[in-house]
A and B are shown apart, each in its own frame.
Chain A
Amino acid sequence: MAPPRGQIRPARYLLAFVVILLGIYSLVFFTGDRKPTPELGIDLQGGTRVTLTARTTSGKPPSDESLKQARQIIEQRVNGLGVSGSEVTIDGTNLIITVPGKDGEQAKRLGQTAELNLRQVKQAVPVSATQGGQGQGGQGGQGQGGASQQGDGSGASGQDDPANTAPQAAAQQAQAQQQDPGQQGDSGQQQDSSGQQAPGQNGDDASRAERIEQLKKLRQSENPAIQRQAVMALDCSAPDPLRGNADPNKPLVACGQDGERKYILEPVLIPGTQISDANSAPPGQQKPEWTVNLNFKQQGSQTWADFTSQNVGEQVGFVLDNQVVSAPGINQAIVGGNTQIEGDFTQEEADNLANTLKYGSLPLAFDQSTAETVSPTLGIASLEAALLAGGIGLILVAGYCLVYYRLLGLLTILSLVLSGAIVYGVLVLFGRWIGFTLDLPGMAGFIIAIGITADSFIVFFERLKDEIREGRTFRSAVPRSWARARRTILSADTVSFLAAGVLYLLAVGQVKGFAFTLGMSTVLDLIVVFLVTHPLVALASRNKFLSRPGLSGLGAVQRMGERARKQRQGNQQQSASGGTPKEA
């Protein structure tokens, strides 16, 4: 830690800084999109942001894997909106959807939980509950062939009968919901209206958990009598609290998505995650209607092959979020994983069903924690306000430094300006490289960092005063005080950086931007103090005119230093004349 005792060569440091600054700005202007503007968050440019919080019944945090999967699926949905610049990011156990501009309203409908499972239908009951369910695929028998048999040869090698199913999809009218099937009137995010309002998490978590437990007892009972009761009691027009909470290993009583039937379903046969692909196929030669092709992954297609060969004539429900989207009958054993679903589909219905099957299966259930749309007007107003606040802050700091430190204050201002320049450049680059967007909290972070940056100067200058007070000249005090101040600045900045880093890594929500800019400013502050402020002060101290106490505001302590010197050694120094410093 021993500092060089001698004088530094300020020019070298300043040169290093200039090189860094030029480097940053040449990257800004000659790489990427060459636009010197940082990425702005939606609260500064207008747009929609939705925060989805993963909900697990166990209380255990969801696995990273499942979060990543969910992110991908939701991203695909978001991309379907066709708004450029949209993105889905993971933040803790949250997914954050941001859609810039004014077309983001639909994003609020994307986060609905969609957990897809295949369950065997034990019984289907019309909601009117007058007559028993009919119209399911017993009649079968049509449509063989035409299945795009991309036999993935899983297991059932040597089977050469074209495997396909042509269920009578009479029981299913995949409703044409826009964007995502499988939701009821998109009020998807509201919970059962229990608890949720009361603050005090434990309380309402507990009551919710209890309610879910009770519902499970009723609707997931294995007792046929209770199942029948549950069917009678089930209200298909209300949101379903069991959404995403149903136990896959138990039977389930659920509504059809069309609201016309209720189903008693067996335990989950194949989880939706085993569906590898699904697409809609236009009417062809053999098929007068739109159909949906479905492919299973290896494990799924094994199970599917076994099941279908034993259960021809039975119905299978595609259950999305505890709603039966479609319940085709099985016409034949389906080997190889490639399956065809047919019914009276319109193109839209087929598309929707295919999308549901393909993307519908989020590995997690989500609650919509926040959903906001910021108008461009408000965005601009916020941006202007933040800039104004920053400007006011800078002017106040500059004024204070000038009054208090005079010449040194001037150096402070110069350092702050350069600091601002470097920060801005880095901001633009980060926006480009790591997709960092500057939002309102981020701007607040910068503004608050002005104080922290200026503080490094103060630590240094106050040290300078200490040294001068002990009898050194301004000039000889600089290297010594710098050596001391350097340690303090480093340790204090370490603490600041720790705080910012921990916040950035652990906190959720908008604070990330705040923590990021705060931490970044801390690091850049060090660069500026080391490469600019200190060399500048060193330069000033060697200049006869500039080191006059009247200019540096160090008169009082210099006089004290004088006395100390005289007192101790009777040593003569050139008299430190000059005004008493103004006290701020």
Chain B
Amino acid sequence: MDTTGSNGNAPAADSGAGANAAGRKSGVLHRLYTGTGAFDIVGKRKYWYVILGLLMLASAASIGIKGFNLSLEFEGGTSISMPAQGASGQITTEQVESTFRDTLDEDPSSVQLVGSGGSQTVQISTEKLDVQQVGEVKTALYEDLRPLGANGQPSAEAISDSAVSGTWGNEITRQALIALGVFLALVTVFLVFYFERWMAVGALVALIHDVLITAGIYSMTGFEVSPSTVIGLLTILGFSLYDTVVVFDKVKENTAGLLSVTRRTYPEAANLAVNQSLMRSINTSVIALLPVLGLLVVGAGLLGVGVLRDLALVQGIGMIAGVFSSLLLATPLLVDLKMREPKYRAQRDKVVQRRENRGEAGEQSGTGEDTSATGTDERPKRNGSAPRMAGAGAAKGSGPSEQARPSGKAQRRSGTRRRR
């Protein structure tokens, strides 16, 4: 698509930059779908820094002040659970409490009904009991309340129990942190080799953002943190990076050979890449979130407790944080880092120079003029958005499509062509 008429400043990211020459009004969704680079994400990076920075600060503060709501595994204790259906109908928490009291002469810490429908269970949490006490309680519960087993008959086997020592959660967490360290080291190496130094930095910052925000949300909302949560947090790392890698891949492609042409600046090329990845990121996240949603519905709604719920919740939160960071944080940060290099600044100046010379209105120097790092903001116009899409291929200096106009016949290449 060719943008001939640029319409001056585009203050808001989605205020149409006249991006569509077809004369049809293209909505935000359309521009999203077609990825035409109409969102000035890199140019507005200061906003993102501020917003995300504040969120990170809030998270850190909440973690520092309020801490986490830790699950049984961190405190140590025993939990006993059984189906909420007994031979004589619904089992109530009062019945359970009284049975427990009669057996051990002490009160359980809590008794609650969790889940819904057929999988509803009674959960009893107590201080740590020894094996014998657990056995006594289970026997008493069975004799008093007759919980129904899978076949609809009362069954002593229908009662589950689990005891956790107070150190187990810490053990898991410690190992998780070791894993985190190793993972970060490996990933840094991978990124540096696969991409480049600055991209590795950008990706890692985005990663830290994701973990911090997720942890912060847990802290603020008081969601229970279990060992499964800690683990889920680790797997987010993979996802967060995955997302960032895809965006960076595009950036890398768009900026290949950039220095030898004066078509667009690095920030513009990066912004275009983000735009082209925008729909993909949104799609990916939606698609990745859908199964997590399924897990969450079942884990939290049906079962009420446990591994499924914990994993799903932390993954869901982390994925959302991951999308934001890979789009709004990683790439803008990369641009800032890049623009500290003189050669990129020089190239930018050339681009500006050229545009001034040709007085092209259509070729807006879009976005990320790097005002902050260099303070040399000498562009003639700021009509910041929508670099020309038609030239999307053109910036790929090294790409085979450099200036290539695939004619309609272009696909008649070598290889077999079969009429079907």
- Shortest A265–chain B CB gap in Å is 28
Q: Please, which residue of chain B has its CB at the minimum distance from the CB of A201?
A: B170
B157 at interface, CB cutoff 8 A: yes
A243 at interface, CB cutoff 8 A: no
- Residues from chain B with a CB closer than 8 A to the CB of A499 are 183, 187, 234-235, 237-238, 241
Mark interface residues in B400-417 (1 if CB within 8 Å of A CB, else 0): 110001111011011111
- Residues from chain B with a CB closer than 8 A to the CB of A380 are 150
- Other-chain contact of B290, A53, A397, A441, A458 (Cβ < 8 Å): A397
**Complex Cα spacing A173 to B242, Å:** 65
Q: Does A389 lie within 8 Å of B299, measured CB to CB?
A: yes
Q: Does A369 lie within 8 Å of B228, measured CB to CB?
A: no
Report A1-27 residues with CB < 8 Å from chain B CB: 4-9
B376 at interface, CB cutoff 8 A: no
Chain A at the B interface: mostly helix, strand, loop or mixed?
helix
Q: Does B299 lie within 8 Å of A385, measured CB to CB?
A: yes
User: B292, B406, B417, B420: which has the most chain A beta carbons within 10 Å?
Assistant: B406
- Other-chain contact of B315, A401, A448, A471 (Cβ < 8 Å): A448
User: A46, A94, A396: which has the most chain B beta carbons within 10 Å?
Assistant: A396
- Shortest A496–chain B CB gap in Å is 5
A148 at interface, CB cutoff 8 A: no
- Shortest B161–chain A CB gap in Å is 5
- Residues from chain A with a CB closer than 8 A to the CB of B235 are 448, 499-500, 503, 514-515, 518
- Residues from chain B with a CB closer than 8 A to the CB of A514 are 231, 235, 311
Q: Does A370 lie within 8 Å of B307, measured CB to CB?
A: no
Report B14-59 residues with CB < 8 Å from chain A CB: 21-22, 29-30, 32-36
- Residues from chain B with a CB closer than 8 A to the CB of A548 are none
- Other-chain contact of A465, B35, B149, B160, B162 (Cβ < 8 Å): B35
- Shortest B209–chain A CB gap in Å is 16
Q: Please, which residue of chain B has its CB at the minimum distance from the CB of A499?
A: B238
**Complex Cα spacing A526 to B85, Å:** 46
Q: Please, which residue of chain A has its CB at the minimum distance from the CB of B298?
A: A389
**Complex Cα spacing A109 to B135, Å:** 12
**Complex Cα spacing A389 to B313, Å:** 13
- Residues from chain B with a CB closer than 8 A to the CB of A506 are 175, 178-179, 182
- Residues from chain B with a CB closer than 8 A to the CB of A213 are none
Report the count of interface residues on B (CB-CB < 8 A). 118
- Shortest B311–chain A CB gap in Å is 5
- Other-chain contact of A7, B83, B231, B416 (Cβ < 8 Å): B416
- Shortest A269–chain B CB gap in Å is 33
Q: Does A495 lie within 8 Å of B241, measured CB to CB?
A: yes
Q: Does B159 lie within 8 Å of A444, measured CB to CB?
A: no
Q: Does B242 lie within 8 Å of A495, measured CB to CB?
A: yes
**With A375-B82, A499-B237, A583-B30 as contacts: A470 and B401 at CB distance below 8 Å:** yes
Q: Does A444 lie within 8 Å of B149, measured CB to CB?
A: no
**Complex Cα spacing A559 to B30, Å:** 12
Among B278-286, B345-353, B361-369, the stretch that binds chain A is: B278-286
User: B22, B249, B312: which has the most chain A beta carbons within 10 Å?
Assistant: B249
A451 at interface, CB cutoff 8 A: yes
Report A201-235 residues with CB < 8 Å from chain B CB: 201, 204
**Complex Cα spacing A312 to B302, Å:** 70
Q: Does B241 lie within 8 Å of A186, measured CB to CB?
A: no
Report B190-244 residues with CB < 8 Å from chain A CB: 190, 194, 227-228, 231, 234-235, 237-239, 241-242
Chain B at the A interface: mostly helix, strand, loop or mixed?
helix
A417 at interface, CB cutoff 8 A: no
- Shortest B143–chain A CB gap in Å is 16
- Other-chain contact of B162, A53, A372, A452 (Cβ < 8 Å): A372
A565 at interface, CB cutoff 8 A: yes
Report A39-86 residues with CB < 8 Å from chain B CB: 43, 46, 51, 53
Q: Does B292 lie within 8 Å of A487, measured CB to CB?
A: no
- Shortest B63–chain A CB gap in Å is 15
B89 at interface, CB cutoff 8 A: no
**With A378-B160, A560-B1 as contacts: A187 and B237 at CB distance below 8 Å:** no
A542 at interface, CB cutoff 8 A: yes
B331 at interface, CB cutoff 8 A: no
A29 at interface, CB cutoff 8 A: no
Mark interface residues in B296-318 (1 if CB within 8 Å of A CB, else 0): 01110011001110011001000
A134 at interface, CB cutoff 8 A: no
Q: Does B2 lie within 8 Å of A563, measured CB to CB?
A: yes
**With A102-B157, A451-B288, A572-B408 as contacts: A367 and B167 at CB distance below 8 Å:** yes
A142 at interface, CB cutoff 8 A: no
Q: Does B298 lie within 8 Å of A5, measured CB to CB?
A: no
- Residues from chain A with a CB closer than 8 A to the CB of B420 are 542-544
Q: Does B242 lie within 8 Å of A375, measured CB to CB?
A: no
Report A548-584 residues with CB < 8 Å from chain B CB: 556-557, 559-560, 563-565, 567-569, 571-574, 581, 583
- Other-chain contact of A5, B234, B392, B413 (Cβ < 8 Å): B413
A125 at interface, CB cutoff 8 A: no
B276 at interface, CB cutoff 8 A: yes
- Residues from chain B with a CB closer than 8 A to the CB of A491 are 194, 245, 249
Q: Does B76 lie within 8 Å of A197, measured CB to CB?
A: yes
Q: Does B291 lie within 8 Å of A567, measured CB to CB?
A: no
**Complex Cα spacing A374 to B279, Å:** 44
- Other-chain contact of B132, A185, A492, A498, A571 (Cβ < 8 Å): A185
Report B314-357 residues with CB < 8 Å from chain A CB: 315
B172 at interface, CB cutoff 8 A: yes
Report A361-380 residues with CB < 8 Å from chain B CB: 367-378, 380
Q: Does A563 lie within 8 Å of B299, measured CB to CB?
A: no
Q: Does B176 lie within 8 Å of A507, measured CB to CB?
A: yes
Q: Does A498 lie within 8 Å of B311, measured CB to CB?
A: no
- Other-chain contact of B297, A105, A389, A470, A563 (Cβ < 8 Å): A389
A466 at interface, CB cutoff 8 A: yes
List 17 additional contacts besides A441-B311, A451-B292, A488-B245; criterion CB under 8 Å: A6-B415, A53-B168, A377-B155, A382-B308, A393-B294, A394-B291, A448-B235, A448-B292, A448-B295, A454-B287, A465-B34, A488-B249, A498-B183, A499-B187, A560-B34, A563-B2, A568-B405
List A residues at the B interface (Cβ < 8 Å): 4-9, 43, 46, 51, 53, 92, 94, 102, 105, 108-109, 185-187, 189-190, 196-199, 201, 204, 367-378, 380-382, 384-386, 388-394, 396-397, 400-401, 404, 440-441, 444, 447-448, 450-452, 454-455, 458-459, 462, 465-466, 469-473, 475-476, 479-480, 484, 487-488, 491-496, 498-500, 502-503, 505-511, 514-515, 518, 542-544, 556-557, 559-560, 563-565, 567-569, 571-574, 581, 583
**Can you list 13 residue pairs at the A/B interface with Cβ under 8 Å?**
A372-B160, A374-B162, A388-B294, A389-B298, A440-B307, A448-B295, A470-B406, A488-B249, A494-B190, A506-B175, A542-B420, A565-B405, A583-B33
